[in-house]
Structure 1
Amino acid sequence: MSNKETVKAADEAAFYQEARGWEADRMAMLHKSERRAWRIAGGASLLALAAVIGLSTLAPFRRTVPYLFGVDKATGNVEYVGAVDDRAVTGYQELLDKHWAARYVVARESYNFKLLQSDYDMVLGLSDDNVGKDFARLYDGPNARDKKYGASMEMKVAVISVQRSQNAVGSVAVVRFSKTTRRVESEAVEPPQYFVATLAYEYKPSMFGKEQDLIANPLGYKVTSYRADSELAPVIVAPAASPTASPTAAPAPVPAVPALPASPTSAAPPAPAEQVPAVTTTGQ
């Protein structure tokens, strides 16, 4: 038996009409699916383009932050200095405090005969009365620094780090720096020495005063206490000097040997005692 169905002549027109309707529906579904696919592809392309634009916009803000560690040339200690990034500064006030502290230490500890007056005026302008008087004494009297060194010597200061803190008294800054001394005539440069400066400071802004002073110190930064201590760099020379000191200390007991003749001189008094009875017998 055959499964084919026969179409009567009367139903032939309806049959072909139904077939054409199915073909039209199938083509409509294909076109609809194609339009849907193009819409999805277009949306994906727009998203990809937006992602590329977004990444290209954020690219300048992406950076690699290296962490800086320093090796102390004097002691060999390795310490964390900080991240080489502007985000390491927590605030604008911290930046100001470190700026003025470093500037004050450089002006006070440096010595350059040609820039001496400028550094001198800056230190006095950034110091209160007591600290300014202590600094001015360095340039008073016959042993004044400018008379002692003149133009034959220069001292260059390089700031290593600046740290600040708060205590019961107020704001305190600790500045580590190195000082290199150079003799101008011979061009001889001495090994650098390392120091730690501790200074207390405050801000006293004022609109009254000389214009040049207000321009040099607009925020009224004043150092109320200052102290500079040497680090352990000079101690390295001490072990080399100690062996040479021991041979010279050995001959020191030698001068003590001549002190022994004191015993013969103490025996001298019995001799006069023996002469006394001799004089009495002859007198009889």
Structure 2
Amino acid sequence: MKWIPGKTAKAQAEPAATATDANSAAALQDLAAKLADADPREMARTFFREALSFEKSRQQLQENMTKIAWRVAGGAMLVALASILGSTALVQLKRPSPPVIIKDNTATGDVQVIDVAHSGTVTFGELELRAALRRYVELRERYDWYTIQDDYDTVSLMNSPREQTGYAALYSRKNAPQNVLIDKYRVVAQPGAITFVGSTAQVFFSKKIISLSTQGSSIPTPPRTEYWVATITYEMGDLPAKSDEQVRNPTGFRVTSYSVDRDWTRSSTTDGVAPMPSAATSSQSAPSDVQGGASQ
């Protein structure tokens, strides 16, 4: 008997294909029977339920994607805001120190140096010292008939014994301010810039002389402004023991020497203004034979 492989394989495959076709046909017949027995309304309900479920799943997916997108955008905004704040902080740390500003009054020619202070550059002690210097110059250089005694007592308390001798001699002269200016003039002192050269301070200030009498005229005399520089050496002494002295000089500031010079770098407003009566305005102008002690 002769063996033929090709025919044998074909013969074996034909029954398997026939069985598969039979199964498919049976499944189709079963499905057709179920569809024939099913209620059309129930089928419609099932179809709509499946369609609604599919639509809901798509909407849920879209909502989830939207939430994720908003979260990503919010995170990006937070990162950008943090970057801006960090850059601003670095700029503040690297900001250079502000320069000293010179204020020029074009009307009077007044040039004033304005000290710019910010955190960490000026100590409390220096600010306290500047305040004491300004107050001393203002009290010593101003004049008012009704406050002269109070100013004299305060300046005397802020003077060292040596400086007080010359200051008292100033008010012991015949041409002392209280004897010449009396109640007809007022002198307003305005301290300006303060500079330090070692332990010596220079205080730039202006003096405005105001005439309080019309001198027979209905038009008051215009005020006269002069510019001066006070050179001061000082020390910080013991705090006053008495309560009234603590009010006048709470820091124990003491002036050991005091001199004034005209500031010719600034023009004075003297044109067309009547001169003020000659009065002693500096302790350097007091005669050497005059002893201390105010005679007000």
Provide the TM-score with structure 2 as the length reference.
Answer: 0.56
Matched, 1:119 2:151: yes
Q: 1:91 to 1:145 in 2, by over 3 A?
A: same
Question: 5 Å matches for 1:99-138?
Answer: 99-138=131-170
Query: For each residue in 1:128-180, what CA deviation from the matched residue of structure 2 results, as whole angstroms up to 9, or x when unmatched?
Result: 111112111121143322111110111111112111232xxxx2210011111
Letter of the aligned partner of 2:205 in structure 1?
F
Of all paired residues, the percent bearing the same amino acid is 30
Contact 1:205-1:218 at 8 Å conserved across structures: no
**Matched pairs, number:** 204
Query: 1: distance between equivalents of 2:167 and 2:229?
Result: 17
- 1:147 is paired with a residue whose SS is helix
Cα gap change, 1:190/1:88 in structure 2, threshold over 3 Å: closer, same or farther?
farther
In 2, Cα distance between equivalents of 1:83 and 1:149: 35
Structure 2 unaligned blocks of 5 or more: 1-16, 25-57, 90-94, 215-219, 271-296
Is this contact kept in 1: 2:193–2:203, CA < 8 A? yes
Query: Does the CA-based 8 Å contact 1:82-1:88 persist in structure 2?
Result: no
Gap change, CA 1:42 and 1:230, over 3 Å in 2: closer
Q: CA RMSD of the aligned region, Å?
A: 4.3
Q: Which shifted more, 104-113 or 154-163? A: 154-163
Correspondence for 1:247: none
Contact 2:114 2:193 in 1 (8 A): no
Q: Give distance in 2, aligned partners of 1:228 and 1:177.
A: 10
Q: Is 2:174 the partner of 1:174?
A: no
Instruction: Mark the CA change 1:158 to 1:73 in structure 2 (over 3 Å): closer, same or farther.
Output: farther
Larger radius of gyration: 2
Contact 1:108–1:119 (Cα < 8 Å) also in 2: yes
Equivalent in the alignment of 1:94: 126
- Equivalent of 2:225, from 189, 192, 196? 192
Q: TM-score, normalised by structure 1?
A: 0.58
> Greater shift after overlay, 121-130 or 208-217?
208-217
Between the aligned partners of 1:75 and 1:37, the Cα distance in structure 2 is: 67
Does residue 68 (structure 1) correspond to residue 96 (structure 2)? The answer is no
- Does residue 205 of structure 1 match 2:257? no
Q: Which has the higher contact order (CA 8 A, sep 6+)?
A: 2
1:164 is matched with 196
Distance in 2, Cα, partners of 1:43 & 1:234:
64
Query: In the alignment, is the contact (CA less than 8 A) between 2:134 and 2:191 conserved in 1?
Result: yes
* Structure whose residues are more often helix by fraction: 1
Unaligned runs of at least 5 residues, structure 1: 1-7, 13-26, 238-284
CA–CA distance in 1 between the matches of 2:106 and 2:256?
A: 31
